[in-house]
Amino acid sequence: MDKTLQNIAKIENIPNLQSEVFENRFSNIVTTEITASPSIIIADTIIVNDVNDAVFLDAQLSLPHVGTYSWTSNGDGNFSDIQSLSTFYTLGTEDLEKSQISLFISIESECGESGKNIVLLIKECDLKLEYITSGECMDNRTPALPEDDFYYVKFKIISLSGSSTDYTVSINNQDYGPYSIGIERQLRIPADGNTYTLFFNSTGTESCGIIAETSQESCSEFCVMYRRKFIVGNCDDNGTPDNISDDTYTISYQLKVWNPGIDSLYKLKIGSQSFGPYEYDVLYQLTLPANGQNYTFKFIDQEFNDCTTQKTVSKEHCSDGNIIGSDDDLTSITGLNPDLRIQPDYKTIFATSTKAMDQSGRFHVYPNPVNETLYISSDIEIKSFRLLDINGRIILPETKIANNSINVSSLVDGIYLISIMYSNLETVVKKFIKL
């Protein structure tokens, strides 16, 4: 610590001219600052277990001090920074042949020079870490809970001399093992972004250890959506068992999500139509036409477009198919477009499954009755057709039409239904007789 020295000069037997008496006199006080050299704090002996790794030297001073520092060695190794209190020392070729190496750190300032000796004691460990690898982060099937994320660290320890048989591993003061030398092992490590230090310690009489570090960030940060409820209701003929065109069924669904967007909302797409946004954890209901068509529900998070889930549904009609009216009556099963509407509370979606077409005769089948080839005349592009018996059972599934004609010669005599789907997904049904 800093001290002061007071210099005072004493002069004896000085005559006082007024009193004629001899007196002792003192000069003015002179104060001199004396700065003490700080001591160097570092271990006297450092044990080196792995000669292949550089030795970290971290010297500290007992007092704040301004000066220059210098490291020297009696070996042939190298310092990473010879003029810094903290440095790394890499052993040289001659150092490897010694059992100990002497290092010296010096401090030079206006008060002079001081220093300290450090001894590197070479005591190479018989253990060697052959490899260590970290696996991918695993969210434990709970992507909304980052605190249970983990990953596996695989490693293999070998013995340089062959004398070591087993070892232990310590992580955060918790011991694992003993494990046999030369066999791959793995440990489960939390994926929380923290650095975990693994201490591998031999269990022999000449105990020594090696160190490795590992770290990995959490992976529970992705939006994951799933269907908590998705219930397909039964077909409802809506009180008209003779008319297949107004048969419907309902879909009830409720969605949950992990790590959603800021608004915690999602939207629904069915074909080219979009609906929403809607809230998670709320039960919604959609009414669809029971016409045998496939409808794919695609649910998409409002913010994250790659956070999705989807489900495809289909249901055949449940009426017996006796359509009321003459053979020329046309019935339209329009499906979703454009008759979906949403109630103001945004909780229930309804689909108007049937609407009457005009009687312009834009769709005709002939001859009717027919024996072999049934021809179709339409002023709208036809996408596909299906054949059903009078009870609504499918005889010929959805098929693309060729040359606007259908060969019905293989059908037994009776009354049949032909269901035509236009390119705009509108479906119409016509009755014909096979002779």
* 202, 276 Cβ separation under 8 angstroms: no
pLDDT digits (tens, 9 = 90+) for 399-423: 888 888 888 888 888 888 888 888 7
Question: At 311, which CATH number?
Answer: 2.60.40
Chain mean pLDDT for the chain = 78
Q: State whether 193 and 264 are in the same domain.
A: no
Answer yes or no: is pLDDT of 322 > 50: no
Question: At 391, which CATH number?
Answer: 2.60.40.1270
In a domain, 200, yes or no: yes
Cross-strand partners of 389: 416
Asked if omega into 369 is within 30° of 0 (cis), the reply is: yes
Q: State whether 310 and 399 are in the same domain.
A: no
Domain boundary among 167, 187, 214: 214
Q: State whether 273 and 347 are in the same domain.
A: yes
Residue 276, phi then psi, degrees to nearest 5: 115, -170
In a domain, 238, yes or no: yes
Domain boundary among 214, 236, 266: 214
Domain boundary among 182, 214, 246: 214
Q: State whether 347 and 368 are in the same domain.
A: no
In a domain, 7, yes or no: no
Distance of CA 380 to the CA centre of its chain: 50
Which pLDDT value is given to residue 394? 83
In a domain, 406, yes or no: yes
pLDDT digits (tens, 9 = 90+) for 107-157: 887 667 788 999 988 876 778 899 999 999 998 877 767 888 999 999 999
pLDDT higher at 194 or 349: 194
Q: State whether 192 and 231 are in the same domain.
A: no
Per the document, the length of the chain is 435
Which pLDDT value is given to residue 269? 93
Please name the residues in contact with 19: beta carbons below 8 A apart, sequence gap of 6 or more: none
Residue 194 belongs to domain spanning: 127-214
Distance, CA of 79 to CA of 76 (rounded, Å): 10
In a domain, 70, yes or no: no
Q: 114 vs 39, 111, 292, 423, CA distance in Å?
A: 8, 9, 95, 95
Answer yes or no: is pLDDT of 359 > 80: no
Q: State whether 349 and 428 are in the same domain.
A: no
Q: Into how many domains does the chain fold?
A: 3
pLDDT higher at 431 or 331: 431
Answer yes or no: is pLDDT of 26 > 50: yes
Half-sphere exposure of 344 (CA within 13 A, CB side): 0
In a domain, 94, yes or no: no
Q: State whether 209 and 259 are in the same domain.
A: no
- Cα radius of gyration rounded to whole Å, the chain: 46
In a domain, 17, yes or no: no
Q: State whether 198 and 312 are in the same domain.
A: no
Give the closest residue to 223 by CA, choosing from 303, 116, 331, 315: 303
Which pLDDT value is given to residue 371? 87
Answer yes or no: is pLDDT of 206 > 60: no
In a domain, 24, yes or no: no
What mean pLDDT is predicted for residues 240-257?
87
Answer yes or no: is pLDDT of 357 > 50: no
Least confident of 152-166, 269-283, 330-344: 330-344
Which pLDDT value is given to residue 107? 84
Q: State whether 350 and 366 are in the same domain.
A: no
Q: State whether 346 and 252 are in the same domain.
A: yes
pLDDT digits (tens, 9 = 90+) for 58-85: 888 877 767 788 999 998 999 999 988 8
Q: State whether 261 and 369 are in the same domain.
A: no
Distance, CA of 420 to CA of 198 (rounded, Å): 71
* 62, 36 Cβ separation under 8 angstroms: no
Which pLDDT value is given to residue 147? 82
What mean pLDDT is predicted for residues 210-214?
89
Q: State whether 260 and 382 are in the same domain.
A: no
Least confident of 119-128, 314-323, 354-363: 354-363
Which pLDDT value is given to residue 339? 37
Quick one: pLDDT band at residue 323, thresholds 50, 70, 90? very low
